[in-house]
Amino acid sequence: MAIRMSKKTGLIVAIVIVAVGAIVGVALSRNSSNPSDSTPQSNNASDLTLPIITWNETTLSTLKGTPVVLNFWSISCPYCVEQLPYLEDVAQQSKGEIKVIAINMVDNAASVQNFFGDYKPTMTVALDSNREAFVGYCLVYNNTRGAIPFTLFVDSEGVIQYVKIGAFASEEELWNTLHDVFGITIP
């Protein structure tokens, strides 16, 4: 015996199924803001070489022995620009205990230099012009929408310990994350 639904009932059932599927998908792909809950699929940070605005270039593997904060950003992203001072303060206050690399993956070198003007940041400012590093990390760390800011915390052994998709609400939140991930406190 077949059950017949009206078109209206069938449409409602279809909408409910799609909505439940979307909610489940979002719940499964959602990245926790609690460092202890973050479990990356691959812990090793890919070795990358990027042109640097503040000096020639850097390779991530040469920074082993020092925790590194990699932050992908662009000038046109207001949340990225808002948190750059937090990252700069960490670079200044940590006095080399943490290496902060702000990686612009949208703008060209001249635009980034113009953005900073006469200010010489303590943090390293790099370019990922072809977005190769950004896309690679997005694929591995479930940033399927390519959201920025996108921040990775790499320990002194080159292992990614935590990933943050989205902006830090405050400098305090960034320092708390550094403490939770690396055991580093505000000087």
- Segment among 44-53, 119-128, 146-155 with least mean pLDDT: 44-53
Distance CA 12, CA 8 (A): 6
pLDDT tens by residue, 59-97: 777 778 899 999 999 999 999 999 999 999 999 999 888
Residue linked to tokens 């055991």:
183
Element (H, E) at 140: helix 132-140
DSSP state of 128: -
Q: What is the mean pLDDT of the chain?
A: 77
pLDDT band for position 57 (cuts 50, 70, 90): low
Closest CA to 182 of 100, 124, 82: 100
Residue 55 has pLDDT above 50, yes or no: no
pLDDT band for position 170 (cuts 50, 70, 90): very high
Closest CA to 79 of 145, 147, 126, 135: 147
27-34 CB contacts, 8 Å cutoff, 24+ apart: 29/142, 29/144, 31/141, 31/142, 31/143, 31/163, 31/164, 31/165, 33/164
**pTM summary value:** 0.71
Whole-number CA gyration radius for the chain: 20
pLDDT score recorded for residue 46: 52
Which amino acid makes up residue 92?
Q
- Segment among 21-25, 109-113, 152-156 with least mean pLDDT: 21-25
